[in-house]
Amino acid sequence: MAILPDEDRSEELVALARLLAYAKITARLLDAEVAAFCIDSALGAVVEQLSATTEGIAGLHNIADSTKLLPC
């Protein structure tokens, strides 16, 4: 597998974080607490990697804003 340039990597990490945020909310709505916990752990790892990049910080704010609008 090829390594992506930093800008593309940040965009892909933001997309992955959005996917995981949606999956976490869905798991909670389904009362699948173990799944929600595991997804939350994965989301934390992605956020940690993303926070190390300048482009990723803007993406983190977008993810945080979008998850506040959804019911938990």
| pLDDT at site 69 | 46
Contact 37, 1 (CB under 8 A): no
Q: What is the pLDDT along the chain (72 residues), one digit of tens a residue?
A: 667 777 788 889 999 999 999 999 999 999 999 999 999 999 999 999 988 876 556 656 566 555 554 544
Q: Give the chain's mean pLDDT.
A: 81
| Tokens of residue 28, six digits | 């909670």
Query: CA torsion, points 47, 53, 56, 57, in degrees to nearest 10?
Result: 90
Interatomic CA distance for residues 32 and 65, integer angstroms: 23
